[in-house]
Amino acid sequence: MTSAAQNELMTRVGPGTPAGALLRRYWQPIALSDELKGKRPVRPVTVFGESLVLFRDETGRLGLIARNCAHRGADLCYGRLEGGGIRCPFHGWLFDVDGQCLETPAEPLESTLHTRVRQAAYPVIEKNGMIFGYLGEGEPPALPNLDCLAAPESHSFAFKGFVDCNWLQVLEVGMDPAHASYLHRFLEDEDASQGYGQQFRDDVDNIPTTRLMREYARPEIRVEETDFGYKVTTLRNLDNRGMHVRITDAIFPTAILIPLSREMTVTQWHVPVDDTKSYWYAMFTSFGAPVDHDTMRAQRLEVYTLPDYIPRIGKANEYGYDPDEQLNDTYTGMGQDINVHDQWAVESQGAIQDRTKETLGTSDVVITAYRKRLVSEIRAHEKGEAAPVKADHAVPIAIDAIAPADAWEPIGIERDLARRRGSDWAAALMS
């Protein structure tokens, strides 16, 4: 059982908190490149309870600095993009992407005040449609060794969505293999050819994934600790049809990797806005054909509204719950989009789940392992011992396959290698 003190330790992420300090030592997604498109590339960003402004200057450089002007606290999100930075409209103070004040035009001409003024500023990296920020102390580490960051932009697609609860319960639903057989159960199978870009719509060796999840709902879950986090192998014995092997990963501290289809995987981070609000950031990676960005974006904008990527379906409209649908079509009665299912599951736990009242089972083995590591890493970081996962860690893999029941172990590596060798960009990285 998780104690109240442990729950507080793991979930509180604001400035000065132990968990927040640890998570800041890793690159975290803070925005999508799409959010800076248009005439005025400026966006407010709140992460770990800290209010920031993200902007692109006239030369294309990205800046992530404190949102409130160092002069008298006005909101820089309304600033003017000019002069090599962002200028506060209140008194004209100008800040560059590093937070350095360049001008204080209302001061006497001979004033050197600007040389002594600096906004808090953080490093940023833009990769495959996603913008990452490093909010920790010291030099930032290299980006992690992930396929989604190695693939060309043509084979990647990035999106995000708001969730109205604490970051940890959003991460935990993603790393939990057992829930897919229930929360995401579809009572009828659909044509896999019509499921592009959607979870659990592909076939696995000619068997619909929806059928595998529905009919074999008591999986064996194996967890292996790795240098990037955890490799999770979920086994469903199909009797005389072999073993369904699903390999997913928990990438410490905030990400998961799951298979979407035979060609595509999803890497998803879970980033705190503050203690009670979060965003998930997903990067879809294709090992086959280039990603159809227009289709992927259109599918998701049916469910999320801009500019803040707020779900159209949620608490305000009871997650679209339909009791007739629950009887005839889906296990939840909450439509076809699995993000809505997950959103209901985690938001209904409360703004911050009270883990002192839960009862964990054998199927929660991934959750138990991850929490143990999270607490350990937080404590080590408090003592100055913890270091981020090294960038040269093993590359996580995500596979859905059916193998002989008595010889399933090699299937993950075999399928992953075959997929890489058949992929133009992945094969080039292997040579």
- d(CA 216, CA 213) in angstroms, rounded, equals 6
Listed by start position, the domains of the chain span 27-133, 147-430
Predicted pLDDT of residue 307: 96
8 A C-beta contact, residue 376 and residue 11:
no
Predicted pLDDT of residue 407: 94
* Nearest by Cα to 76 from 58, 59, 89, 63: 89
* Nearest by Cα to 146 from 381, 367, 378, 395: 395
**Fold topology of 27-133:** Rieske Iron-sulfur Protein (2.102.10)
| Residue indicated by tokens 């929490």 | 371
- Is the four-CA dihedral 163, 167, 170, 171 of positive or negative sign? positive
Predicted pLDDT of residue 414: 95
Report the SS3 class of residue 270: strand
- Biggest CA–CA distance in the chain, Å, is 85
- d(CA 187, CA 146) in angstroms, rounded, equals 34
Predicted pLDDT of residue 75: 98
Predicted pLDDT of residue 101: 98
pLDDT along the chain (431 residues), means of 10: 95 97 97 96 98 97 98 98 97 98 97 97 98 95 95 98 98 96 90 70 79 92 96 94 95 97 95 98 97 95 96 96 95 94 98 97 97 96 82 92 94 95 93 67
